[in-house]
Amino acid sequence: MDKLKIDGLLKKINFDDHYIEATFQFKLLMQLGKIYDEDKIFPERSIKAYNLKDYTKKEIDIVIGQENNSNIAIELKMPMNGQVPEQMFKFIEDIKFLEELSASKFFHKCYLIVVTNDKDFWQGNKNDGIYSPFRSNDTLKGKIYKPTGNIEIKAANYYELNGEYKIQWNNLVNGFRYFVIEIEYSTARQQDIKDFSLKPASEQIHSTPIFATKSENDIHNLWKKIVSKLGSKPIEIQTMGIGSWFSAYSKDDRIYIDNSQTNVPSIDLNDTRKINETEFSKVYPYYQPWKKGETKRKSIPGQNTSYILALINHFEKDNHGGLT
């Protein structure tokens, strides 16, 4: 499989205004079934099939099974209902997910395929920020922040890409266009991603010297205490800075974040957020330096950082430091 072969498959599909993403997936699966063993093509494949967990997403749109863990992963997007900047951010999410899969050593090649007839994805008045890679052919790289919501929501939601990508829109039938992003397994990228996930937070951003003050066991115990204190009944907690409120509760060793039910201003989430111990452990070493003003919030990695910092701050105050 390569981008040229994907180009050929897409040009065999007669897209029209009545297509939805499920239709696109079905038609592509039919084309793939002509060149690969159907028994090795898996739509909506769970990452658990490869003993993977805590990835950006839980399911892969299409997997083509290959020998020696040279599997192919394909993510599809077919935005047909506007919400242009939000959908662009979804593209970034898919690329991040595919980078994670590529780094797992189970996938040799990974592809994002985007098809749409909405011209706003490749042209428009705005050509900066999240629009620039899709409308101005700027390189897609680094941190990409959520383009909608209040300032705090935007700052707390981003994906940081390891690779650099160029978006090239190509013509299809009936006014449709598409682009393909390829993420190929790389030993260097694998090492980069592996190191980022395993290094202490103090080493992950070299421009911000932060020193962890707790052992992994201490942070684990702290996580357990917060999970235990939260329990199943949501409590209201205020973020630092702007001071938006959110509700938090715990279940099955995870913390769930949602919009405030009683206080204003509330955060503005479309879906409930989940925080696991791994994410908490990456953020915690930044807490004291951040609280002392030695580092900025934006320099701390993670999508739920504002909530994690607020949780630690809340329970430290509630416990008069007794969490530690």
Each domain of the chain, given as residue ranges in start order, spans 3-198, 212-318
pLDDT at 211: 30
Do residues 108 and 69 touch, judged by C-beta distance below 8 A? Answer: yes
Q: What is the mean pLDDT of each run of 10 residues along the chain (324 residues)?
A: 91 95 95 93 94 91 90 96 92 94 89 97 94 94 86 78 93 97 62 39 32 62 91 90 86 93 88 90 83 66 84 74 48
Cβ neighbours around 275 below 10 Å, total? 24
pLDDT at 194: 39
pLDDT at 7: 93
Do residues 278 and 223 touch, judged by C-beta distance below 8 A? Answer: no
44 torsion bin: left (phi>0), alpha (psi -120 to 50), beta (else): left
pTM: 0.60
DSSP state of 266: B
| DSSP H or E run through 281 | helix 277-283
Identify which of 309, 308, 286, 311 has the alpha carbon closest to the alpha carbon of residue 299.
286
- Please report how many Cα atoms fall inside a 13 Å half-sphere around the Cα of residue 229, on the Cβ side: 16
| DSSP H or E run through 61 | strand 59-64
Cβ neighbours around 30 below 10 Å, total? 12
- Token pair, residue 183, equals 């993420």
Do residues 193 and 99 touch, judged by C-beta distance below 8 A? Answer: yes
Gyration radius from the chain CA atoms: 21
Cβ neighbours around 154 below 10 Å, total? 13
Identify which of 85, 308, 300 has the alpha carbon closest to the alpha carbon of residue 210.
300
Identify which of 59, 63, 64, 46 has the alpha carbon closest to the alpha carbon of residue 93.
59
Dihedral of alpha carbons 269, 102, 207, 147, sign: negative
pLDDT at 324: 47
Identify which of 105, 109, 50 has the alpha carbon closest to the alpha carbon of residue 74.
109
